[in-house]
Amino acid sequence: MVVADGGVPDGAGGVGGRGRLWSLSVTVRRVDGRAILLLNGRLGHSTVPELESVARPLLSDGVLDLVLDLSCVDYLSSAALEALERLSRDLAGKGGRLTLRAPADPVRIALELAGGLLPCVEPPRE
């Protein structure tokens, strides 16, 4: 698991006296040549490098099917959208695919507004 803490450091006041406003944890599971990354937290400019530090080595290892489970992500910034678009492009260039699974409502709205990543969004399971 990788944990990234960006924004306000521990002990700093922050909004309402809270610390660690921007954190992201990434848990990796590999199943049948597919890498599934469970993201938990906020995906913004300060945590994108942590996502890339986990995802890029997987691509270098030959993973062509990368699934990002976004069910526990509550924020997606423009920097995150750009990073996801780069991952999608890089995978497509190798014949692979990026799948965005179960985006939480705020993330789904950001993806819909951006538009470019909609083909990557996995349809909800019924």
pLDDT at position 126 is 65
Mean pLDDT of 47-52: 95
**% of the chain residues with pLDDT over 90:** 73
Domains, in order of start, for the chain: 28-120 (3.30.750.24)
- pLDDT of 21 > 80? The answer is no
| Banded model confidence at residue 124, pLDDT cuts 50, 70, 90 | confident
Among 100, 118, 120, smallest CA distance to 36 is for: 100
**What predicted TM-score, i.e. pTM, was given to this entire model?**
0.83
| 65-111 pLDDT, tens digit each | 999 999 999 999 999 999 999 999 999 999 999 999 999 999 999 99
- Burial class from Cβ neighbours inside 10 Å (0-12, 13-18, 19+) for residue 43 reads buried
